[in-house]
Structure formats: C-alpha cells, structure tokens
Amino acid sequence: MRLIGTLYNASGPLANATISFEATTTTMNGVLAGSDAHFTTQEDGTYLIDLEAGFYNVHWIESGHRVRLGSVTADSFSEATLPEVLQAALVPVDSSAIQDEIV
C-alpha cells in the first residue's frame, strides 16, 4: 500500500513528524509481528510511505512518547492518505457481507 499526502495540525503542515507502523501479525510476505517501520514527514508536512501488505498499529512519536492513532490494514495495491486508511479502520464490518472465497 502506498500512503501519500500531507499531515496537518491546527496551525498548518506538520513538519518532521515521525509515524510508526507496528506489525500486529506475521504475514506470508515476510512482515514479522512486532516489527516496526518509522517514517518522517518532510519540512512541508508531506509524506510518501510504501507499506508491505499486513496489519499495523499506527503511532505518532513525539519527544520520545508514542501516541496511538489507530490501526491500518494494508493491501499490496492501494494508494490512499493516512487519514483515509485510519478512518476506514473505524468503519464497522457487516459480517453478513463477508463471503468465503474458494482458492
């Protein structure tokens, strides 16, 4: 999944913000549970993050403190902003819409 956009706070673009993605499960593509990937926004608050497919807890790291922002399920083909994927994680899943797929 590619995450691309600009992070903002109340006063404008958020420069040099460190975002951490902590894998919550081990995946078949080699992402190990508990492993972290850290990314930092540019001076203008922009970011470009390529995540391997998997399940992640997302944290903002400031002054040595980790603030949990939410969780993300990353696939191998989507492109979105960080707020979009965090918001999507808050949408309840209708279990009746889930269908088994025979592989």
- Domains of the chain, by residue range, sit at 2-97
- For 11, counting Cβ atoms within 10 Å of its Cβ (0-12 exposed, 13-18 middle, 19+ buried), the class is exposed
Cβ proximity of 53 and 76 under 8 Å: yes
Superfamily of domain 2-97, CATH level 4:
Immunoglobulins (2.60.40.10)
Please give the pLDDT value at position 86: 83
Please give the pLDDT value at position 44: 94
Above 70 in pLDDT, residue 99?
Answer: no
* pTM exceeds 0.85, yes or no: no
pLDDT digits (tens, 9 = 90+) for 43-83: 999 999 999 888 999 988 877 788 888 899 888 899 998 88
pLDDT category, 88, cuts 50, 70, 90? low
